[in-house]
Structure 1
Amino acid sequence: VDNHIIHLVIHGLLHLLGYDHETDAEAEEMEAVERAALARLAIPDPYA
């Protein structure tokens, strides 16, 4: 549960920074940034 909450916080912060996932390209970019941020926090990839 803790990892999921952290993922949601990062996801929300990315939206505040202007990221979106309305198109496949936007989703891929946003997920890549999410994965990188989560990896730095040693949190498993939620999209794997």
Structure 2
Amino acid sequence: FQYTPQHLVRLLQIIVDVNCDLAVRQVASIHFKNFIAKNWLPQEP
């Protein structure tokens, strides 16, 4: 699931969905942050 092309998009949809439980939105936010921190490759100037 984590590596599907729409994974981050779906996490963002959950994060902004006010109908989702707050705890679920918080977990999605943390997972989004951790995924980006682990997989982001900064560009060198």
> Normalization by structure 1: what TM-score?
0.44
Larger radius of gyration: 2
Q: TM-score, normalised by structure 2?
A: 0.46
Structure (1 or 2) with the greater helix fraction = 1
